[in-house]
Structure 1
Amino acid sequence: MSKLNKIAYRPVGLLLGIGAGALAGALFKQAWKWTGHDDDAPNATDEDRGWTEILVAAALQGAIFAVVKAAVDRGGAAGVRKLTGEWPD
C-alpha cells in the first residue's frame, strides 16, 4: 500500500475504531441485560458484587469487543481494497 494511502486510511481506521467501541459497548449492555442481570455491569471494585459475576462480565465484555473490533477492522480493510485496489497494512 502506498504511503499516501496509509496516511489517508489512518483517520478512517480511527473513526472505525471509535465506532466499534461504541457498538461493542451497546451490544454488551444489551447482552448483560439479556442474561438477567442489572442494567449496569459490575465494576471490578464493586464491593457488593462477587468474583464470579465480575469475571463473567469482564469475559463477556472482552469477547464482544474483540468480535466487533475484528468485524469492523476487516470490513474497513475490505472497503479500502474496493476503493483503492490495495489492502491496508
Structure 2
Amino acid sequence: MAKHKKMKLPLVYQPLGFVLSWAAGALAGLAFRKAWTALRHEEDAPDALDPDRGWGEILLAAAVQGALFAVVRSAVDRSGAKAIARSTGVWPVAGRD
C-alpha cells in the first residue's frame, strides 16, 4: 500500500485547542456547581482548607469535581478534533488517525 503524505496541522490546532480547553474548564466548573447543589443541596462546595468540613465531604467534592472535569474536557477535546478532521480531512494531533 502506498503511504499518503499527511498535512501538518498540530500548530494550527494549538490555539483552537487552548480555547476549547478554556471553555471545557468553564463548562466543567458550571457542571460541578450544579452537581454539588443537586447532591448536597448546598451552593458552596467544600474547600480542602475549610476547617468546618470533614475529610469525607472534601474528598467527595474533589472526586466529583475531578470526574466531571475529565468527562467534560474529553468530550470537548474529542468534539474539536472530530470537527477539525471533518473539515480538513486530517486528524489534528500528529501521529494519530
TM-score range, shorter chain: over 0.9
Runs of 4+ residues deviating >4 angstroms:
none
TM-score (norm 1): 0.94
Whose Rg is larger? 2
**What does 1:16-55 correspond to in 2, within 5 Å?**
16-55=20-59
**What does 1:57-68 correspond to in 2, within 5 Å?**
57-68=61-72
Map Cα deviations across residues 2-29 of structure 1 (whole Å, 9 max, x no partner): 33x2211100000000000000000000
Query: Mind listing any 5+ residue stretches in structure 2 that lack a counterpart?
Result: 1-5
Structure 1 position 37, deviation (Å): 3.7
Matched pairs, number? 88
Structure 1 position 61, deviation (Å): 0.2
Paired residue secondary structure (1:66)? helix
